[in-house]
Amino acid sequence: MVNLNIDELNNEFQNKSPQQITAWAISNAKNPLVTTNFRPYEVAILHLCTQIKPDLKVIWCDTGYNTPQTYNHAEDLIESLKLNIHLYVPQQTTAHRDVVLGIPDVGDSRHELFTSQVKLEPFKRAMSEHKPDVWFTNLRKGQTVFRDSIGVLSYSKEGILKVSPFYNYTDEQLDDYLKEYNLPNEFKYYDPTKVLANRECGLHI
């Protein structure tokens, strides 16, 4: 989906519900997908998208460093929401990487290589294989400086339309959404590439 008036649509979507935004995007998409890492509140975007398109492709790029709680949460959601999961993992095992590289500190020059191995390469491989025109994400305003600068709709550097239906939602509003649909959440999550909650890992910029 190219040549859209992003500014005009983002202004319009200020007054639209996540359901309306998602329905619009799916009705105009040829090959949509949603990505997830099963972090806190991911259940909201997964539930929202699959309520509208049950067979939507769900891309899970698993770094190999998730907590046991995250893996259990993922398995529960895959079953309860009947997710059409496509799993992507790094080409090197976690055990092997622990020996030759470990988890470099964010200030270490090797951290860029680590991030590429565990997150960027699997993600790029997934996008190359599936070639989506619409990519649903759970980006929200207030998460990082970069995310504050985009809107409900934005384009990735590859030209894919990113749709963030909950962009203007607060944690409290997402809590209400989860409560309304009786959805579970899991907060024991670990991203080895970000270290700080407000740091971008490179997936979206």
Within the chain, where are the H helices? 6-13, 18-28, 42-52, 68-80, 94-100, 111-115, 121-130, 145-148, 171-180
Query: Mean pLDDT, to the nearest integer, of 43-67?
Result: 97
Structural domains in the chain (count) = 1
Task: Assign residue 38 the CATH number of its domain.
Answer: 3.40.50.620
Question: Which has the minimum average pLDDT: 107-111, 144-148, 163-167, 188-192?
Answer: 144-148
Q: What percent of the chain has pLDDT over 90?
A: 68
pLDDT of res. 3: 66
* Residues of the domain holding 138: 6-180
Judge whether 190 lies within some domain. no
Judge whether 187 lies within some domain. no
pLDDT of res. 147: 60
Judge whether 144 lies within some domain. yes
Judge whether 100 lies within some domain. yes
Judge whether 74 lies within some domain. yes
Judge whether 72 lies within some domain. yes
Judge whether 111 lies within some domain. yes
